[in-house]
Amino acid sequence: MQGTLRKMRAERNEPISYFLPLGDFSVPLAPFMGNTLHLRYQGSIFCTACGRKTSKSYSQGHCFVCFKKLAACDMCIMKPETCHFDLGTCREPGWGESHCNIPHIVYLANSSGLKVGITRGTQVPTRWIDQGASQALPIFSVGTRYQSGLVETTLAKHVADKTNWQALLKGDASPVDLLRARDELLEKCAAELAELNERFPGEINLIPEAVVEGFSYPVLQYPQKIKSFNLDQSPDVLGTLLGIKGQYLLLDTGVINVRKFTAYQVELLSV
């Protein structure tokens, strides 16, 4: 069984159910838990946008041409507060309308610890699962990605906005009182949030009825030492599958971020 890798698909269960997309295949990973898993990179990368073969992957699976051309690869995707759509310089205005100028959620999550983040409203709870969050709480419903980025940077002055991936893979994060953390953040940022509400009236709305959501992951054992597989350096990922969390496969021989190797041609070998 072989094909180009895509990020793992997850279904919300207790624990989360994972599937590994390989081209046209979607491989259930539950049967591999506690058993040997062997993936082999076949040396080819095919752009996830145009399909052409590329010697190097840019921005998770794009060729250089698409990386320079597509709005999905622009820096404002990583830093939404730098969105330049209103300046008329968006690489793909149509894409911006359908992906950025739509409702977003600003949330708190507990993955490697407390963090703030944003996601499209349609990506809840997928975004939280992809990050390996054990808890999540939506705070605001916001009109656009740009506006959500401004709210996020305001809150990020007091709380992390990134996940410590190594801590994520060493064990479950200690529970956090997200409702209390939210209320404390709102108090600390009250003046700045009020300014944003004046700037964008009716666009930044608190979700007072939101409840904390919890997630558990299929992990038999966390690694004591983090060693990462890199398909660009070694083609084989081989070992006993001990867990899956976020977009990481945890093997007794190392861990691999599946999403990092989007568009790599990989074969699933029988053992």
| pLDDT (0 to 100) of residue 271 | 64
Identify the DSSP state of 191.
Answer: H
The pLDDT value recorded for residue 270 is 72
Question: Is the pTM of the predicted complex or chain greater than 0.85?
Answer: yes
Q: Which structure tokens are listed for 135?
A: 């808890």
Extents of the domains making up the chain: 2-62+218-268, 70-101, 103-214
User: Are β-strands 213-214 and 53-54 bridged in parallel, bridged antiparallel, or unpaired?
Assistant: unpaired
**Burial of 120: CB neighbours in 10 Å, binned 0-12, 13-18, 19+:** middle
Closest CA to 103 of 203, 211, 212: 203
Q: In terms of Cα–Cα distance, which of 210, 196, 206 is closest to 81?
A: 196
DSSP H helical ranges for the chain:
64-69, 75-78, 93-99, 126-130, 145-155, 165-168, 178-188, 190-199
3-state helix, strand, coil in the chain (%, to 5): 30, 30, 40
What is the predicted pLDDT for the residue at 86? 87
Q: How does pLDDT run along the chain (271 residues), one tens digit per residue?
A: 899 999 999 999 999 999 999 999 999 999 999 999 999 999 999 999 999 999 999 999 999 999 999 999 999 999 999 999 888 999 999 999 999 999 999 999 999 999 999 999 999 999 999 999 999 999 999 999 999 999 999 999 999 999 999 999 999 899 999 999 999 999 999 999 999 999 999 999 999 999 999 999 999 999 988 999 999 999 999 999 999 999 999 999 999 999 999 999 999 997 6
Q: Hey, which residues does 160 pair with through a beta bridge? A: 115
